Amino acid sequence: MSNMNKIPFPSWLIGLLSTSIIAVLAVGVLAWQWIAWERKIAETENQIRSASDALFQTPAGPLGEKTANPQATDTALKSQWRDILSQVQHPYFKNQIDLFFEEPYFSPDPQVGSPQDKPRVVWLMLPESLGKFVLANRTFLDSIHDAIAKSAELAPFYTNDFRSFQALCDLIFLDAASCLDSHEQARFDRALESVYQTQIINKQFSRLDTVNSAIVCLLHRGLDENLISPTQASRWLERIYQDTKPDLGDAMVAPDKVSLFRSYDERWGHWQSLPSLRMAMFDRYFQETAAQYLTLPTVLDRIKFQDSLRYYTLAVRVAMQNAVAQNPGLSRLPDGFDERLQIPSDFRQAMADSRLDDRSVYSIDRTTYELKSATEGQLSFVLPGELTSGRHPIGSRYPMAIKAP
């Protein structure tokens, strides 16, 4: 037994043991570091999850509860709105509205003129049919105008059916459009106001909606038919700017991780994997989703540009009408016309900052005015197809009557 105590411990075994211990310790240190990383990532994941849960659990206040408007408690008004929104659900209205906003097939008849000269939407092309439709539903339309007038500030619309509300907006637009042919001044004014109010409300549902499109279209048509004066148009321009400028900048914000996490977690959260892998997958999901919004700025940019361009055309037209009235002999755009234009800087900025390659095509430099005759001039714009076609088209050429001083 005593000999056993003197058995030498080979040096190579010591080396082997040391190597093993070093390897185990090194891997242990790495494992400890890894666990620490995973716990940190798991904490981050839990924070995002909690924030996401809180975001989705917070009930969104219904529209109309933003203010303590006493009208919100007016039961008669509520009842009136309920009836209106119920009636507008009728398939008859949906069908007729869709037909009136249709752009019919165009046969390229040279006598008809180029598509750009004449916007091709049914409500413009069939004023008689439009008039019949409006007449058949006059009572209902009057009740709508009445309800809107009574609900002057942020009318409490008790509906989650946006289709019904959109149908409502389209109906009163058609009502206003019908007055262009019948020249009903009072009705047109009332309808214009209703259109404007509903467009403001509609924009709260969908920030991408272009408020300007309907109103600017009607104002241009109103000027064409002399239903509104340039002075009234200027006032409208001021109102449009005041009511829509805050929304130009934040039309659409790319979602952040908190808002996207819920949909990801519902789908993949049950997979038992490491927090780092889950978060890596979520980061990839977020990048792919957010990338869609990165491409959208092109779309958003175009919408903002077009909104500004609509406003711009109306502002230029009103300014030119005033200029021509003061100086009938004007044969072209005055020098420095652009600088003197009363266009808010936000709109100018939106047009200048646009990343569209073709924005210069539609700028003031391409806007022209020429004398057609002693009594008529013509203001011409270069406008993209989205403005000269669609549901609310505007023209690119505007005749200007020259009155002798």
Choosing from 45, 48, 96, 367, the residue that interacts with another protein (CB under 8 A) is 96
**Is 39 one of the binding residues for another protein (CB under 8 A)?**
no
Q: Assess contact for 45 and 278: CB atoms under 8 A.
A: yes
Q: Assess contact for 24 and 233: CB atoms under 8 A.
A: no
Which residues in 201-221 are b (16+ Cβ under 10 Å) and which e?
bbbeeeeebbbbbbbbbbbbb
Instruction: Determine the Cα–Cα distance for residues 274 and 41; give it in Å rounded to an integer.
Output: 9
**Is 358 one of the binding residues for another protein (CB under 8 A)?**
no
Query: Shortest Cβ distance from residue 267 to another protein (Å)?
Result: 5
Query: Shortest Cβ distance from residue 244 to another protein (Å)?
Result: 28
Total residues in contact with another protein, by rule CB under 8 A: 71
Instruction: Determine the Cα–Cα distance for residues 139 and 195; give it in Å rounded to an integer.
Output: 17
Binding mask 6-25 for another protein (x = CB under 8 A): xxxxx--x--x--xx--xx-
Site for another protein in 63-92 (CB under 8 A): 75, 78-80, 82-92
Helix, strand or coil for residue 368? strand
Pick the stretch among 206-214, 272-280, 353-361, 365-373 that binds another protein (CB under 8 A): 272-280
Site for another protein in 119-158 (CB under 8 A): 122, 125-126, 129, 132-133, 136, 139-140, 143, 158
Binding mask 214-253 for another protein (x = CB under 8 A): ----------------------------------------
Instruction: Determine the Cα–Cα distance for residues 231 and 219; give it in Å rounded to an integer.
Output: 12
**Is 294 one of the binding residues for another protein (CB under 8 A)?**
no
**Is 3 one of the binding residues for another protein (CB under 8 A)?**
yes
In whole angstroms, how far apart are CA 12 and each of 23, 230, 348?
16, 102, 83
Choosing from 53, 74, 102, 224, the residue that interacts with another protein (CB under 8 A) is 102
Partner residues linked to 376 by β-bridges:
401
Which token pair is 105?
């097939």
Q: Which strands, in side-by-side order, build the sheet including 368-371?
A: 368-371, 376-380, 397-401
Closest to another protein by CB, 103 vs 225, is 103
Closest to another protein by CB, 84 vs 383, is 84
Instruction: Determine the Cα–Cα distance for residues 197 and 180; give it in Å rounded to an integer.
Output: 19
Choosing from 105, 109, 326, 404, the residue that interacts with another protein (CB under 8 A) is 105
Helix, strand or coil for residue 328? coil
